[in-house]
Structure 1
Amino acid sequence: MPPALPLSTSRLLLERMLLIRAYEEKIIAFHEAGPFPHVCTSVGQEAAAAGVVSALAPQDQILTNHRSAGHLLARGADPGRMLAEVMGRSTGYCKGKSGTLHISAKELGVILTSTIVGGELSLATGAALSREMLGGDGIVACFFGDGAACEGIFHESLNLASIWNLPVLYVCENNQWQAYVHRKETMVGDHIAPRAAGYGIEALTVDGNDVEAVFEAATAAVAQVRATRRPFLLEATTYRQRGHMEPHDQSYVDPAEIAEWRAKDPIDRQKARLLAQGGLEEADLARLEARIRRDIDEAADFAAASPFPDPAELATEVYA
């Protein structure tokens, strides 16, 4: 079967997923070595981040949640500045004041990272309204999980976006777990996408562990939102392979479930696809992975060597 996407795009998607995985594996290693700030990793969810963000244009804006590293890195964030922010250093994106759970990067169009579950949903409509008032064809991409979709703010946000005709691409990363509770304990049905119909919003569920399927679905959804100035809900079915936060374990998860989903790992699937298509040789893959690991090692060294913020700056740049 011929490749569905240009080889350059397929390889770029793989590279972005590898970068996200290597970044979070570095954080996991820091935790294993000793005390380190708590971080919510997204190991296993890389295809959703890489696939959707790669479909966005520079003028588009992003609001995201506590598992934000993949979205930021796929958008082009510097891993050194990201690690510096996590470590509370002055060279971070927010000068060490946001930590891992509140990173924003204005230059990348990443408005905010919300540690409040569903917090980004409450602000997506306002961000999209500003897009309309300012003019242009920019849209807003709002990332959230299945846990947030079980809160009232999900319904309020979709309702208002539909009534006001706002250009929001809602992206639900349905990773099966809501902190320590499986979605089956909190949801009727397996998917979030069908809920959009009640608000007159089109929706689609895609295999969130197939990065090319996510990219193609997101590309079509972005084009539709941009053209119609109407919201769209894209649900990526995926799986969180780590605990809720590092260094939490997964003792509450059935080992067979974890094994089943790890067999569908998005990075392994994209590697196998490219190798089978002849778009990548084993030696090329080894060199790519080695380069990314070096880049992350250098990013970690940069962050660790960076100074802490001056205490005199404690209250500066906190409020606009």
Structure 2
Amino acid sequence: MTTVLQRLPEINILLYIYTAHKDESHTDLMLCPRIINYHYENITINLMELGGASQDFPNRRTFKEPMYTLMTQDIEQIWNMAKVIDWWVEKYPGLHWRDNSDDRRCLRGSEVARVRKAVARWWLYAKHHHGRVFTRFTIYHPSMWTTDTRLHHIRLMPTSEVSELWHLWRLVRETVSKDLCSSPEKVCHCKQGYSVELVPWGANEGHRHAKIVKTYMKLDPEQLRYYLRYYANWKKSVAINSLSGIEPYFARDCETLSISITKVLEERKIFTDVHSWADMPHFGILDEDRPNDLNNSQWLNDAWPDGRVPPIPAHIPTLPFDPPSIIARGDDGAETFLPF
């Protein structure tokens, strides 16, 4: 089991998810290098060495490197996490080619690896910033060039992987909108009988449906898999009551991952003195959605290893200030709606 796990492209990210704890709620400690070993009887297997997932951390202050020893039950839980990612890999073609089933195909090996890493990154961010394990520090969205744990997660990635995560996140948004936050509420009578029309929650109420979707996008990959399995296109009240019973504070705010991704991509664009988004390469999950890697190699290895902004070029402080914006209040779709 450990041999199979070690071969997974996302194993280091899964280990970070599994060993995450509240004491890491600071950029000096969050996602810091660690040593993780698996111990069984008289055998010890090293699963992660210092810096194994994030390379070097040159600007970190001195700290005692955390060490974790995993037992068999821990490995089994990580194995189950990998099975969740298996489900998303299997589901991905159907979601991507939802409206073009004739073009649907199996994913190639390189594409599977990208899906797996992107889903794991989404899970890691959700664990720290969308759930109840870690306390939210501010009511504001992250701002460029600032020290922020949300940006910290994204800055650790090269631009190519940030772009891949963005493509996945757009697909998650569509999936949540159509498969979870839409319910059969209208019956269309036809010559052949009748069919059911799926109505988005909050339809005809301004931007409410978009806010509902951004709220449900706080679910992590395992939680969303559960609701897509058992509550897809169900009666709205049933799905809402199920989730509100498990997450009493679920509707307090919307997701922030989309903002964090956008801010970091903007930082990379400005940092490299790229003047237009059209000049930024877009790295999708699928091979046909990617530029020629040979001509864009600079974007494959430009991660900021310790999650902090490197010494910035002289022209950046002269740019307009990034104004703060408040995170929107969440909306679970219930009839009692607070419109702010």
Fold shared, TM-score > 0.5 on shorter chain: no
Q: Which of structures 1 and 2 has the larger relative contact order (alpha carbons within 8 angstroms, sep 6+)?
A: 1
Whose radius of gyration is greater, 1 or 2?
2
TM-score, normalised relative to structure 2: 0.28
TM-score, structure 1 normalization: 0.30
